[in-house]
Structure 1
Amino acid sequence: MQRGLFINGEEKPAKETYTLYHPHTEEKLADIAESSKDNMAEAISSADKAFKDMKALTSKQRADILFKAADRLTERQEEAAEIISKEASKPIKAARGEVNRTVQTLQFSGEEAKRLNGEYLSLDAAEGGAGRDAFTMNEPLGVIGAITPFNFPLNLTTHKVGPAVAAGNTVVIKPAEQTPLSSLFLADIFTEAGLPKGAIAVIPGDGPTLGEVMNQDERVKKISFTGSPEVGKLIKSQAGLKRVTLELGSNAAMYVDNSCVDDLDNIVQKAVTGAFAYNGQVCLSTQRIYVHEDLFDSFKQAFVEKTKNVTFGDPSEESTVVSSLINKKSQQRVLDWIKEAKANGADVLTGGESAGNGVLPTVLTNVGRDEKISCNEVFGPVVLINKVKDAQDAIDNMNDSRYGLNAGVFSNNLRQAMKMGHELEVGQVLINDVPTLRFDHMPYGGVKDSGYGREGVKYAIDEMTELKMISINYEG
């Protein structure tokens, strides 16, 4: 199979290609377009020309396109799940879950397309403002550049495309090199739903090469990027006066208080799911767990027992929970970090070994704050469980991080839970939930090295529009 680039409403072949392999089975999936700088420039030009048509659509027309895209994706959901599972080595159940979330993201986008309302301003509140009315409106920016990651290749791309379309923008997608098929599939879905020709483009290929073109082209009005902090900082430095949203890394932490003794088994199960969902290759993956000393031994024992029941296998198998990592380089990095932590005194309670092209679900304890496995983003099926003496000790440990995306707090003490909600240095605090939680309409973004700006459909639309005010002097 050979797949090209999607420009001006159709897929076109490229002069150069690269081979896409299944991360688990290593079978060849397709020859993918290795797009050039000229291809990216052509896509931006096409999207810029299509912006006039997009801006002219009514709110209802944009909403109808998004709702039709949601319906079409629902009809083709198993096809979409199989694409995700193969190119990203995502267990098929998790892939189906991603498709379902994508349908919701499209539906939320359609709903928000009808809610782009401004407000009335009383200009006579200012001296000299009598006899004037004013109102605001949200206008689309133009071409949105979307640079997307491999781990949620359909839904995270839709989190950029859906709000862009809802607001009346056009969008050019640069998908992760390992997962271009999902973006090409999404372009097909939107085309079938009636999106104007040229309003969406997919340009696969080398990130630094194509991203530089996006950053430098003045017709691109905003860059929305999900990926590593290092690349995010580079994009921000290159983007100039463009708007930028950066969804970056995390090493999400959670705390379990001693007031949760009666619900411990349920919390453990949630934490195991949060730690190992999609091989830990989730920005919100539960990576650091801090447990009150009164519950530590019980929590640790139950967590290890449940982890041993997590199935490693082929992503196409219904029973598989953890599979191969996205590439062998990631596998080796995770194993090296585990080995380094162990050499420095950490205890490996289960796992810590390779399997296929992945890593078995791994639980560590007694991990020092300075270990890579603690202070960096593992992006693999690894979690640490450390003992703390109280909530303040947990806050100190949880905040001792360059990242700040999500945090989870389990406590039946309302005052304590709210104190942690205020003091934790993250974008979202989930009380009585694991940090590996996101609903597609909630605000989502981080502080520190976890990012800049917010996603979540309504909030992404705000960042993809320009606020304009119009006033009327009715007294002359």
Structure 2
Amino acid sequence: MIKNVSELTSTKQFLLINGQKVEPTNYAPLRSPYSGEEIAQIAMADKELTKEAIGVAYNARKVMAKMPAYKRAEILEKVVSLLKEKADEAAEIITRESAKPIMFSKAEVARTIETYKFAAEEAKRIHGETIPFDAATGGVGRFGYTVREPIGVIGAITPFNFPMNLVAHKVGPAIAAGNTIVLKPASQTPLSALFIAELFLEAGLPAGALNVVTGPGGIVGDAIVEDDRVNMVTFTGSPGVGIGIRSKAGLKKTTLELGSNSALIIDKDTDIDPIIDRCIMGAFSNQGQVCISLQRVYAHEEVYEEFVSKFTAATKRLKIGDPLDPETYISALISKGEAERVLGWINETEGSTATIATGGKLTDGILEPTIITDADHDLKVSCQEAFAPVVVVNKVSSVEEAIKEVNNSRFGLQAGIYTNSVKNALFASQELQVGGVIINDIPTFRVDQMPYGGVKESGTGREGIKYAVEEMTEMKLIVWNYS
């Protein structure tokens, strides 16, 4: 078992297959996005080792399927208990591998604990329904009901931005439903997944039920998606990769949580002062590397100037620096390449109508939180997913105009509206083309039991433990003829 953080971040990290550490031929250095220092050597699985993990999960599937619900719940509850004991260690691991400021890593660990708690509770609530067969003339004398059965082997591919809680959103409901898992964590953040896998072993999860395979997506990910023994693929990441997974998955069930450029509407009657802190969090927490990060704001012309002034002033006060400093709000993006990409998008605004109100530069390798006003829709910072601490604020003359601008997007994950008008709130809830409408809050709002997912290129299926369990089970109909 892991004794401390330094043990996990200073040594060779192996694959976890069938409850055992498996050593591959090749390793790759894992470096801190903030300091550049090497923090671990990560195992690079090949196709054969990935297939071995799939085979192990396939062989363990019947053990998990027959495990009583109370036992699955007990294992998940034990993980909750262990993670509570090791919460500080877990947060430090997240920060070291991802440069997420420690204040946000601690919040992620707290959410992860809740997510596994929800999973433990949902393990006891998986049920079907009775069917009134005599409602049809041909159904007289028959009685029927549905049950939900585990789908089997689940391939889970997770992103870097919430390396512990988004693993929990796949592993938690999979175990609650009695499935086995082959988990491929993001290449930059494998330590969180390995940490959690160790806790599951300590909690009594059968060997082979959770296997962690690290390595290149083009090798490990493709092997998982294409293997016929894998019954479902659940993925969180970019639209391009998600679309590729769906094309390779064949008839496998897929749940795809993809990108967005989430928007907020601020109506003319909105009191600006109380919403500034929420907008700061929505736009800049975790360096904006959040699928529902606040990227676009459409403020009514009557409050536009006040909002921009106060939002900009608050942004300039954010502390930039070492992610392990408890006061730091903004640190490094996940890679230098990402910082260069976003800087290119910001520089694209030169010569346009857009104005950079604050930020737009690198400070000691960290992209400053950036506010851009009056940005044309066709600029990348507006129409694509920035996944960075960049937010565009534009002026509108009505809620109707704002909704039209929000919907002018290939994405549709979540959107928010601040308004005191019930009529405008109801209109927005009906007209916004997104998976979730958040009224009087930012689109970045999420709690872990709610149904979460999008439309258009933001994905398919829903997460949130109860809803993920439904995705990860198959409905079976049983009909009795008693006539």
TM over 0.5: yes
> Aligned to 2:438, which of 430, 434, 442?
430
Aligned to 2:356: 348
Q: Aligned-pair distance for 1:277?
A: 0.3
Deviates more, 1:165-174 or 1:267-276: 267-276
- Is 1:66 matched up with 2:76? yes
Output the CA distance in 1 between the equivalents of 2:63 and 2:232.
19
Q: Which residue of 2 aligns with 1:401?
A: 409
Which is worse superposed, 208-217 or 99-108? Answer: 208-217
1:441-476 Cα deviation digits (max 9, x unpaired): 00000111100111111111100000001111122x
1:384 matched to 2:392: yes
Partner of 1:9: 19
Q: What is the correspondence of 1:26-425 to structure 2 with a 5 Å cutoff?
A: 26-260=36-270, 263-425=271-433
User: 1:466 is paired with a residue of what secondary structure?
Assistant: strand
Query: 2:283–2:391: 8 Å Cα contact kept in structure 1?
Result: yes
Q: CA deviation at 1:345?
A: 2.5
* Aligned mate of 1:462, from 438, 459, 470: 470
Read off the aligned partner of 1:322 and give its amino acid letter.
I
Cα displacement (A) at 1:357: 2.8
How far apart in 2 are the matches of 1:56 and 1:418? 46
Equivalent AA in structure 2 for residue 7 of structure 1: I
How far, CA to CA, are the matches of 2:70 and 2:364 in structure 1? 49
Judge conservation of contact 2:17–2:212 (CA < 8 Å) in 1: yes
Shift of 1:286: 0.3
The amino acid of 2:55's aligned partner reads: S
The code of the aligned residue for 2:481 comes to N
- Cα distance in 2 for residues equivalent to 1:139 and 1:214: 22
Separation of aligned partners in 1, 2:350 and 2:359: 12
* Paired residues, number: 473
3-state SS of the aligned residue for 2:137? coil
Q: Could you tell me how far apart the structure 1 residues matched to 2:380 and 2:223 are?
A: 34
* 1:126 positional shift: 1.2
User: Aligned partners of 1:356 and 1:57: how far apart in 2?
Assistant: 52
8 Å Cα contact 1:24-1:356 kept in structure 2: no
Shift of 1:353: 0.4
**Per-residue Cα deviation, 1:309-363 (whole angstroms, up to 9, x for no partner):** 1111100000001100000000001111011013323101111000233200111
Structure-2 separation of matches of 1:254 and 1:49: 48
**1:222-252 deviations in whole A, cap 9, x for unaligned?**
0000000000010000000000000000100
Q: Where does the alignment leave 5 or more consecutive residues of structure 2 unmatched?
A: 1-10
SS of the residue 1:51 aligns to: helix
Q: Find the aligned partners of 1:310 and 1:359 in 2 and give their Cα distance.
A: 12
Structure 1 contact 87–178 (Cα < 8 Å) conserved: yes
The secondary structure found in structure 1 opposite 2:445 is: coil
- TM-score, normalised to structure 2, is 0.97
User: What RMSD over aligned residues (CA atoms) do the two structures have, in Å?
Assistant: 0.8
> Does the 8 Å CA contact 2:319/2:329 hold for their aligned counterparts?
yes
**Identical pairs, percent:** 49
- Secondary structure at the residue paired with 2:159? coil
Q: Which amino acid aligns with 1:394?
A: A
Q: CA deviation at 1:388?
A: 0.2
Any idea what SS the aligned residue of 1:225 has?
A: strand
TM-score (norm: length of structure 1)? 0.98
Residues in 2 aligned to 1:168 and 1:341: alpha-carbon distance in whole angstroms: 51
Distance (whole Å) between structure 2 residues aligned to residue 279 and residue 213 of structure 1: 32
For 2:336, give the aligned amino acid.
Answer: K
| Runs of 5+ consecutive residues of structure 1 not aligned to the other structure | none
Tell me the CA shift for residue 217 of structure 1. Answer: 0.8
CA contact (8 A) 1:342 1:348 kept: no
**Which string of whole-angstrom CA distances, capped at 9 and with x for unpartnered residues, describes residues 375-428 of structure 1?**
000011111111000101100111111110010100000011110011001000
Q: Within 2, Cα distance between the matches of 1:142 and 1:7? A: 17
Separation in structure 2 between the aligned mates of residue 294 and residue 259 of structure 1, nearest angstrom: 8
Which stretch of structure 1 is more off in the superposition, 331-340 or 356-365? 356-365
The SS at the match of 1:378 is: coil
Pairwise CA distance, 1:273: 1.3
Residues 321 and 366 in structure 2, CA contact (< 8 A), matched pair in contact too:
no
2:457 to 449, 452, 457: 449
Contact 1:284 1:435 in 2 (8 A): yes
Give the conservation status (yes or no) of the 8 Å contact 2:170–2:234: yes
